[in-house]
């Protein structure tokens, strides 16, 4: 039982990867839209490459969203508005007229006949006005026609027949003139202004109800295709008309395919394909990026980013497939290149685009554009800590999208007409969202404990709190760290390692010496050496302790784990040789080698190996007296060859060629430090 548990414990990293792999496959398949895949690929403007296609069943030709929207817009703009006629208003108007008429026209000043004639003339004017009604200025309908609802009966009529309160004066004057009563026109105008009130009002509720009824009756199809009818012949170009028929068949086919009996088989097919893609990713990591594969945090980070991109894309496609290019897919290779390398970033990007090919419309066009944009991202993004570089790269990515869209449009349409200019806005929005990569990198650093060049640049500032404290408490160690940083950075550049990471690791690798600075020779300003009064084993313990204390101090100050790795490994498992030899001379029987050996681990990357070599060479070079070039040459070879013989680089991904290149750089730098010239033979 204990052996089984022990085996399970040793395999926990592999078990975690298997679980992560299965969960990722399940999540991606869950994100996929429910439906089958049409077995033919086609594009507008390209010939049909398959055999003659006949309708496998009866189906309707579906209208495009653009066609349906055009019909909706036409209904809303062409709808004749409804107005309601209020009969009670006209009755009150006539009562008011009969009441106010004697006040305006005194019966004593007119003959009885004239009085009655004028009274009837006013009634006729009101009858004429209220035959079609009066509308207020605010209710003024548009030119054209209206529906006038009177006694629950709607009558279609020209809008110009309705009278308006702002035009009543001229109307009354005209009608009074026809009655031969011009001399009384002002009186009639005054009287009508007092009694006439609007009785025609817009019925927006009824108008909107009519619009909604018409919208609800819009058909999503136009015509049918009978089973067995030829849809398209081999070699025939896919044009607008047969394109709509093919798209209708595709939609109907995929919905017909997704039935209770078929759905499980379709899901199984999706699962197999997604599993194959993610398996390729794991195999790539295991074979070509073993240091990433061994780190479960890194593997989780990569799978997490793939899941986020797939989720966002499928969400956008379900909402509106036309917005698919708004999703900033190029953030994926950009971020992966920042934390890992360009090759891994591009590989993951291509695999993710292949997965999304199942989801998006026009999959070939989408895959082509996104892969090209990803390649441009990898080629252009460099030194992301320089803000201008990100803006330049995003501009180039956006330009690639625009050029690619133009090219596909020309292929599909054969001209530059009908260009959807809104898509350019989508590409620009995509570029603006891609700029969010900077804060996203910071968020990822906090979430996953990773480190980017931006953070390394901040950590390399010698005015930071921790380095400032070291320069005050252990100035000799601080100067030593600066020298080691310069040597290690030059060596890293020579072999193509991460120079900035090496420099930061070198600056912080000896921070543990701040606790007991005088026990290290570079900080001793007098001839008094505290080790003279200590047992060699105790001295070795103090020296070795600076590694452990450095790790604790780094964690307390929230330094990234990749920087702490340099503190942990810069002495590997080497001996504190001076005190070990002294102990062997003084008390050989009580001397144990493990008491004088650093706890390790040994360097496990090219960067940590470079630091070990640079640190040892720089520290030991202080003991050289009047060095010459041959002396420095032999000195560097002796120290690094000793580390190799001690097996310090067995776990590091560094070759003999790289080590020789590092030696060469260290020799050149030490020669410059000591201002030596090469001795030429006489």
pLDDT digits (tens, 9 = 90+) for 25-41: 999 998 887 665 666 66
- Mean pLDDT across 325-348: 90
Which backbone phi and psi does 155 adopt, to 5 degrees?
Answer: -125, 130
- Mean pLDDT across 604-612: 93
Angle subtended at Cα 228 by Cα 59 and Cα 33, rounded to the nearest 5 degrees: 40
pLDDT of 264 higher than 70: yes
Asked if 551 and 564 touch (Cβ cutoff 8 Å), the reply is yes
3-state secondary structure (DSSP) of residue 51: coil
Run of H or E including 624 = none
3-state secondary structure (DSSP) of residue 86: coil
Strand 145-150 and strand 82-85: the pairing is parallel
Non-local CB neighbours of 498 within 8 Å, separated by 6+ positions: 492, 607
pLDDT of 360 higher than 80: yes
Under the banding of pLDDT at 50, 70 and 90, the label for residue 24 is very high
Give per-residue pLDDT as tens, 113-164. Answer: 777 788 888 888 888 888 888 887 666 655 678 888 888 888 888 888 888 7
pLDDT of 4 higher than 80: no
pLDDT of 110 higher than 70: no
Q: What is the fold, at CATH topology level, of the domain defined by 453-673?
A: Hypothetical protein af1432 (1.10.3210)
- Mean pLDDT across 655-659: 92
Cα 241 to the center of its chain, rounded Å: 36
Under the banding of pLDDT at 50, 70 and 90, the label for residue 252 is low
pLDDT on residue 451: 82
Q: Which residue has the higher pLDDT, 169 or 334?
A: 334
pLDDT of 680 higher than 70: no
3-state secondary structure (DSSP) of residue 574: coil
pLDDT on residue 493: 92
pLDDT of 573 higher than 70: yes
Asked if 487 and 617 touch (Cβ cutoff 8 Å), the reply is yes
- Mean pLDDT across 35-57: 69
Angle subtended at Cα 473 by Cα 469 and Cα 476, rounded to the nearest 5 degrees: 110
pLDDT on residue 481: 92
pLDDT on residue 441: 86
pLDDT of 107 higher than 70: no
Q: Which residue has the higher pLDDT, 177 or 617?
A: 617
Under the banding of pLDDT at 50, 70 and 90, the label for residue 306 is very high
Helix axes 422-434, 331-339, angle to 10 degrees: 20
Of 11-20, 32-41, 280-289, 328-337, which range is least confident? 32-41
pLDDT on residue 349: 95
pLDDT on residue 35: 60
Q: To the nearest 10°, the Cα dihedral for 610, 613, 617, 620? A: 140
pLDDT of 251 higher than 80: no
Under the banding of pLDDT at 50, 70 and 90, the label for residue 675 is low
Average pLDDT of the chain to the nearest whole number = 83
Asked if 512 and 546 touch (Cβ cutoff 8 Å), the reply is yes
Of 1-10, 132-141, 146-155, 591-600, which range is least confident? 1-10
Under the banding of pLDDT at 50, 70 and 90, the label for residue 91 is confident
Under the banding of pLDDT at 50, 70 and 90, the label for residue 640 is very high
pLDDT on residue 232: 77
Asked if 598 and 483 touch (Cβ cutoff 8 Å), the reply is no
Give per-residue pLDDT as tens, 173-214. Answer: 888 787 777 777 887 888 888 888 888 888 888 888 888 888
pTM, rounded to two decimals: 0.64
pLDDT on residue 488: 94
pLDDT on residue 114: 78
Non-local CB neighbours of 43 within 8 Å, separated by 6+ positions: 238, 362, 364, 365, 411, 412
- Mean pLDDT across 21-27: 94
**Using alpha carbons only, how large is the chain's radius of gyration in Å?**
43
pLDDT of 112 higher than 90: no
Q: How many C-beta neighbours within 10 Å does residue 456 have?
A: 21
Of 155-164, 292-301, 569-578, 631-640, which range is least confident? 155-164
Q: Which residue has the higher pLDDT, 299 or 49?
A: 299
- Is residue 89 packed enough to be buried (19+ CB in 10 Å), middle (13-18) or exposed (0-12)? middle
Q: How many C-beta neighbours within 10 Å does residue 527 have?
A: 5
Q: Which residue has the higher pLDDT, 424 or 491?
A: 491
pLDDT of 508 higher than 90: yes
pLDDT of 257 higher than 70: no
What distances in angstroms separate CA 220 from CA 18, 44, 71, 246, 253, one per listed residue? 47, 22, 10, 16, 17
Give CA–CA dist 335/342, Å, rounded.
10
pLDDT on residue 612: 95
Domain boundaries, the chain: 8-25+261-447, 37-63+219-257, 77-214, 453-673
Give CA–CA dist 414/204, Å, rounded.
46
Give per-residue pLDDT as tens, 453-477. Answer: 778 888 888 888 899 999 999 999 9
Of 51-55, 267-271, 561-565, 633-637, which range is least confident? 51-55
Run of H or E including 351 = helix 342-356
Under the banding of pLDDT at 50, 70 and 90, the label for residue 8 is low
Give per-residue pLDDT as tens, 402-443. Answer: 888 888 877 766 666 767 777 788 888 888 888 888 888 888
């Amino acid at each position: 039982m204990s052996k089984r548990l022990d085996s399970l414990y040793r395999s926990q990293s592999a078990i975690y990867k298997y679980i992560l792999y299965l969960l990722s496959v399940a999540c991606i398949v869950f994100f996929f839209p429910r439906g089958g895949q049409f077995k033919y690929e086609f594009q507008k403007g390209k010939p049909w490459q398959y055999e003659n296609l006949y309708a496998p069943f009866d189906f309707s030709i579906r209208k495009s969203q653009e066609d349906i929207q055009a019909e909706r817009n036409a209904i809303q703009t062409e709808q004749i508005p409804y107005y309601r006629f209020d009969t009670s208003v006209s009755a009150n108007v006539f009562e008011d007229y009969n009441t106010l008429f004697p006040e305006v026209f005194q019966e004593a000043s007119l003959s009885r006949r004239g009085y009655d004639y004028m009274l009837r003339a006013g009634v006729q004017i009101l009858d004429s006005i209220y035959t079609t009604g009066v509308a207020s200025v605010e209710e003024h309908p548009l030119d054209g026609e209206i529906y006038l609802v009177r006694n629950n009966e709607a009558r279609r009529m020209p809008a110009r027949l309705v009278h308006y309160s702002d035009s009543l004066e001229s109307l009354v004057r005209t009608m009074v003139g026809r009655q031969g009563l011009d001399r009384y026109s002002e009186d009639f105008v005054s009287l009508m202004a007092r009694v006439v009130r609007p009785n025609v009002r817009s019925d927006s509720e009824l108008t909107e109800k009519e619009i909604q009824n018409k919208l609800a009756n819009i058909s999503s199809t136009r015509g049918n295709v009978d089973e067995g009818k030829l849809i398209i012949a081999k070699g025939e170009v896919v044009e607008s008309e047969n394109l709509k028929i093919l798209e209708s068949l595709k939609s109907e086919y995929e919905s017909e395919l997704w039935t209770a009996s078929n759905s499980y088989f379709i899901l199984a097919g999706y699962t197999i394909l997604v599993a194959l893609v993610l398996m390729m990713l794991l195999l790539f990591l295991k074979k070509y990026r073993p240091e990433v594969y061994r780190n479960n945090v890194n593997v989780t980070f990569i799978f997490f980013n793939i899941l986020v991109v797939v989720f966002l894309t499928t969400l956008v496609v379900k909402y509106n497939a036309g917005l698919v290019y708004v999703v900033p897919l190029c953030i994926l290779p950009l971020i992966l290149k920042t934390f890992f390398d360009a090759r891994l970033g591009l590989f993951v990007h291509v695999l993710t685009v292949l997965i999304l090919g199942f989801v998006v419309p026009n999959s070939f066009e989408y895959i082509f554009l996104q892969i090209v944009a990803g390649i441009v991202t990898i080629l252009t993004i460099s030194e992301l800590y320089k803000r201008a570089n990100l803006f330049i790269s995003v501009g180039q990515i956006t330009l690639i999208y625009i050029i690619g869209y133009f090219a596909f449009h020309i292929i599909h349409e054969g001209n530059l007409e009908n260009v959807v200019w809104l898509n350019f806005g989508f590409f620009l929005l995509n570029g603006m969202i891609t700029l969010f990569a900077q804060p996203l990198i910071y968020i990822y650093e906090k979430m996953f404990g990773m480190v980017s060049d931006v953070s390394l640049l901040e950590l390399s500032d010698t005015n930071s709190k921790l380095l400032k404290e070291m320069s005050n408490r252990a100035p000799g160690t601080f100067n030593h760290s600066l020298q080691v940083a310069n040597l290690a950075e030059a060596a890293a550049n020579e072999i193509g390692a991460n120079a900035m990471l090496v420099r930061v690791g070198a600056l912080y690798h000896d921070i543990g010496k701040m606790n007991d600075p005088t026990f290290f020779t570079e900080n001793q300003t007098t001839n008094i050496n505290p080790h003279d009064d200590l047992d060699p084993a105790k001295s070795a313990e103090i020296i070795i302790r600076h590694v452990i204390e450095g790790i604790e101090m780094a964690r307390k100050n929230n330094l990234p784990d990749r920087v702490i790795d340099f503190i942990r490994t810069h002495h590997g498992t080497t001996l504190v040789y001076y005190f070990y030899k002294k102990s062997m001379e003084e008390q050989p029987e009580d001397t144990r080698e493990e008491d004088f050996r650093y706890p390790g681990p040994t360097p496990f990357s090219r960067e940590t190996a470079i630091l070990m070599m640079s640190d040892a060479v720089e520290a030991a070079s202080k003991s050289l007296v009047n060095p010459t070039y041959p002396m420095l040459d032999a000195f560097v070879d002796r120290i690094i060859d000793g580390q190799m013989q001690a097996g310090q680089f067995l776990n590091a991904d560094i070759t003999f060629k790289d080590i020789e290149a590092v030696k060469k750089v260290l020799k050149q730098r030490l020669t410059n430090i000591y201002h030596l010239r090469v001795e030429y033979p006489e």
